[in-house]
Amino acid sequence: MITTTQRMLRASRAGTSRAAPVGGWRALESIARTVALVLLAGAAAAGCQTVTGSQTTEVEDNQLAASPANIASLSGVVQNNPNDPQAYNMRGSVFGQSGRNDEALADFNKAISLDPNYSQAYGNRGLIYRKTGKLDLALADYNKAIALDQGYAVAYLGRGIVYRLRKDTLDAFKDFNKAISIRPDNAEAYYNRGMLYQSQKQHQFAIDDFSTAIGLSPSQAEPHVARSLSYMAVNDLKSAASDLDEAVAAEPMNILAWTTRAFAYERLGDKEKAAGSYAKALNINKDHEPAKQGFARVGGKMGQAYQTF
């Protein structure tokens, strides 16, 4: 049965234009909960869960690596320009990238106090609030950023992720569409919209969006893993396995990609590659329960060499 939400998503999708890949993206998205359900249940259809949002491309001012040297350099800029909101916003972005959330908030607060109309500072502060689970505060900041700059694609993306976390599917979908219309090279928006489609079991639409995200950023594992789950849900196991080959090649230490790949090859009946992939996952984390169970299911033996490709 097609739900009202699914009908509305389909209707909205029908009016959405698609652009050729022209940009890049770094994803921090984890779909471990989804894959654990898939692996433990033994059914690919379980791979339709919603996941938490990616963050990196939301920080437009974050051009410097979060190293102590760069933070020290930015602190020197702040010291020399104590009334420059951009200096605080830049340092706050790097603090946020390095996980120093309290210091990031302090810098964004200062930037906003110096310039109450600084849309990027609101957007960046919204990201920190969202990362720390303060979704109401995040939503307020994204709303403010959009009110100040209605062409601010990053804020629509961030707000869409908040809506998705709150299971407000239609508002999330509208924001991802808006982000894409403003920035057709925004792979992260396609990825997040694909996750919405996947959560509604609209797997072909999800596959299309994941494919665009992959075209925009082929070196990231997450879109390949996500697309593989939709392929498995429609029983296209060979395409799923191919995606997961790409995922582990892109990120060889991604335990989620190895475990999902193992499950795909297990379903294909290739116990050799399945056991090898489960073994790879266990080499990364010997206590990873889905990999332990899968390895036992396919008759894996510790210490034995397996062909993984």
Reading the block at residue 157, the tokens are 């993306």
Gap between the Cα atoms of 285 and 210, Å rounded: 27
Domain spans, the chain:
1-50+184-309, 54-166
Radius of gyration of the chain (CA): 21
Indicate the helix (H) or strand (E) that contains 15. Answer: none
Residue-level pLDDT, tens digit, the chain, 309 residues: 555 566 556 655 544 433 333 233 333 333 344 444 444 343 333 332 222 333 335 554 444 566 777 888 888 888 899 899 999 999 999 999 999 999 999 999 999 999 999 999 999 999 999 999 999 999 999 999 999 999 999 999 999 999 999 999 999 999 999 999 999 999 999 999 999 999 999 999 999 999 999 999 988 999 999 999 999 999 999 999 999 999 999 999 999 999 999 999 999 999 999 999 999 999 999 999 999 999 999 999 988 999 899
DSSP character at residue 64: S
Reading the block at residue 187, the tokens are 């792979």
DSSP character at residue 56: G
**What class is the 54-166 domain?**
mainly alpha
- What architecture does CATH give domain 1-50+184-309? Alpha Horseshoe (1.25)
- Domain 1-50+184-309 shares a fold with domain 54-166: yes
- In angstroms, the Cα distances linking 303 to 165, 282, 287 are 42, 12, 16
Closest to 296 in 3D by CA, of 277, 269, 278: 278
Instruction: Say what the pTM is.
Output: 0.79
Q: What pLDDT score was predicted for residue 7?
A: 56
- In angstroms, the Cα distances linking 183 to 129, 153, 190, 229 are 24, 6, 11, 26
Gap between the Cα atoms of 83 and 283, Å rounded: 51
Q: What pLDDT score was predicted for residue 22?
A: 27
